[in-house]
Amino acid sequence: MTATTRTLSATALVLALGSALSMAAVSTVQAADNSNMEKCFGVAMKGHNDCAAGAGTTCAGTAKMDYQGNAWKFVPKGTCATTESKTSPTGFGQMEAFKAKS
């Protein structure tokens, strides 16, 4: 192994470690930010849901339609029940997934 190869390998390792640490820090900050938020189903617009939606979606940004009953969005705590949902039985967001009204 040449000195150049060792230097490039060491640099790649340092960059990979730095990236991993940065992602861990971002996850911690997001978790702290979410402490004042709640999941609200049926209020996300098409393609703008937050992660872990229901069947037919895989993660953030995969809602297939506006106000999808099994897709959720983080909203400030206490506001879900007053956030509009055109597909919800009550007309407002729900704390759990629901079957959209027709």
The answer as to whether 94 is a domain residue is no
The answer as to whether 13 is a domain residue is yes
Q: Residue 40 forms beta bridges with which residues?
A: 73
Q: How far is CA 13 from CA 8, 20, 23, in A?
A: 9, 11, 16
The answer as to whether 57 is a domain residue is yes
The answer as to whether 97 is a domain residue is no
Q: Which residues span the domain enclosing 62?
A: 3-82
How many folded domains does the chain comprise? 1
The answer as to whether 67 is a domain residue is yes
pLDDT in tens, 24-71: 444 444 544 678 999 999 999 999 999 755 566 567 888 889 999 999
Q: What angle do CA 30, 35, 40 make, to 5 degrees?
A: 95
Per-residue model confidence (pLDDT) at position 26? 44
The answer as to whether 58 is a domain residue is yes
Per-residue model confidence (pLDDT) at position 7? 61
Q: How far apart are CA 102 and CA 65, in angstroms?
A: 13
Q: How far apart are CA 15 and CA 5, in angstroms?
A: 15
The answer as to whether 92 is a domain residue is no
